[in-house]
Amino acid sequence: METMVIRNREDLSQYETQWKELIEHLEHPEIFATWEWMSAYLHHMLNPTAQLFVVVVTDQDRWVALAPLCIVPQKLKWRSVRSLQCIVSGTGENNSFYLHREYHYIKLLKHIAKAFTTHQEEWDWIDLYSFQSRNPVTALVEQTLGEQFEVHLRPLSASPYVNIDQHSELKFDKSRLKAIERKERKIRREHEVVIHLNQPFDMQIWNQIASLHKKRWPHSLFNETREASFLQDLVRQLELQDRAHISYLQIDGQIASAWITLVHQNKAYMYITATSKEYPEYGVGLILTHRVMQHFLEQDVNEIDFLAGDQDYKFYWSDTIHMNYHIRIFNHHYRKKTKLLRTYTLYQINKRRFKSILLNR
C-alpha cells in the first residue's frame, strides 16, 4: 500500500471516479462523504485561508482509505494555531475517515497516522469534529492515533434517529398523533391547505423557503451568500439523482412549513426545516413532519436521521440517538507550544463541569 497527500482542488478533481468508488464500499455510508457534497463545499464554502491536506491510501490503483482534511489557521487569544481538520464543516454533517470495508481498519489508519507524522512540521493540532458513535472508525481513530499522539475526546451533540427495522408504533404516543391529525382537520376546515411531498427543485418555491427559514432561525444558513449558494448547488445536484426533495405545507397559497430532505443508501436525512410563527395554534410544523415521516416509513429506507441538535421537535419523533464527538490530537513535535495548547484544551473539555461546580457551591 502507498499513501499520498493531495494539496489542491485541481489535483483532487482528477480523482472523482476513485473517490466515488471508495464511498460505495464503506461500512457506514453517509451522504456527507459523497463527491457531490465535497465538490459543492469546495466550490462555495472552503475557507480561503485553508490548504487541502487530503490523505489517500491506495492498494495499487484502488483507493482504500481517505482522510479529507485541510490545514486552517486558527486564532486563539494569545497565538495562532495550524489546525488540521475535516474539509466539510458547518453544514450539519457528521464526519469520519473513509475506510474500505474489505480492508483491515487499523492497518489503514496506521497509514493515515504515518502521513500525519511525516508532515508534522505543518500542523499544531488535529481537530476532528462530529465523529459519530455509531461508526466503529471513531473509536479506532482514538485508539490508533493515541499510540503516537496525545488524544482528547469530548461529546459534542446528539443526533436523534428512527431505525425503521426496529420501528414500532408503540414508540409514538398515539394520543399525540391523534392530536396532530385533529389539528390538520381543523386547519383544513378553516383554511385552504395543500401539502406537497417530495417535490423536485423549483426556484420560486426555493426562494420562499429561504425567506421563511431566515425569519424562523436567526443563524440561518440562507443568511450568508456562500452557504445559500452551497445549499442550492447541492440540492440541485442531488435532485437530479432523486436524492433530494422538498416538501411544504401551504395555507391560503403561502408556505407555512417546509422540509428539505435528502436520501442516500437507504437512509433519509431530515436536513433543513422552517415553520412560520403565524399559525401556532395549528402545529403546522408537526403536521408536515408527520406527513413526511409517514412517507419515509412507507419507502425503501432503513433509517430516518434528524441530525445533530437538541430541538424539541426531533425528540418528539425519536428517543434513540447517536453521539457526535470532537477528537483533538496534539503534535508533540513542538513540546513547548503543546503545553499551552493542552491546558487550553483541558479547559475546553471540562468548562461545563467547572461552571456546574461554581454554580452549585
Confidence (pTM): 0.89
Residue 304's region, left for phi above 0, alpha for psi from -120 to 50, else beta, is: beta
What is the reported pLDDT for 352? 53
The average confidence (pLDDT) of the chain is 88
pLDDT above 90 covers a percentage of the chain that reads: 66
Q: What is the pLDDT of residues 4-33, one digit of tens each?
A: 999 999 999 999 999 999 999 999 899 999
Give yes or no for a contact between 308 and 325, defined as CB atoms under 8 angstroms apart: no
User: DSSP character for 265?
Assistant: T
Give yes or no for a contact between 33 and 26, defined as CB atoms under 8 angstroms apart: yes
Q: How far apart are CA 185 and CA 326, in angstroms?
A: 45
Q: How far apart are CA 19 and CA 15, in angstroms?
A: 6
- Residue 174 reports pLDDT greater than 80: no
Task: Please give the helix or strand (H or E) that residue 325 lies within, else none.
Answer: strand 320-330
- Residue 56 reports pLDDT greater than 80: yes
Q: What is the pLDDT of residues 138-164, one digit of tens each?
A: 999 999 998 888 898 889 899 999 888
pLDDT category, 44, cuts 50, 70, 90?
very high
What is the reported pLDDT for 357? 33
pLDDT category, 359, cuts 50, 70, 90?
very low
Pick from 93-97, 114-118, 336-340: least confident: 336-340
Closest CA to 329 of 96, 139, 124, 151: 151
Q: What is the pLDDT of residues 254-299, one digit of tens each?
A: 999 999 999 998 899 999 999 999 988 899 999 999 999 889 888 8
pLDDT category, 102, cuts 50, 70, 90?
very high
What is the reported pLDDT for 79? 72
pLDDT category, 360, cuts 50, 70, 90?
very low
State the greatest distance between any 2 C-alpha atoms of the chain, in Å, as a whole number: 71
pLDDT category, 227, cuts 50, 70, 90?
very high
In angstroms, how far is the first alpha carbon of the chain from the final one? 57
User: DSSP character for 214?
Assistant: H
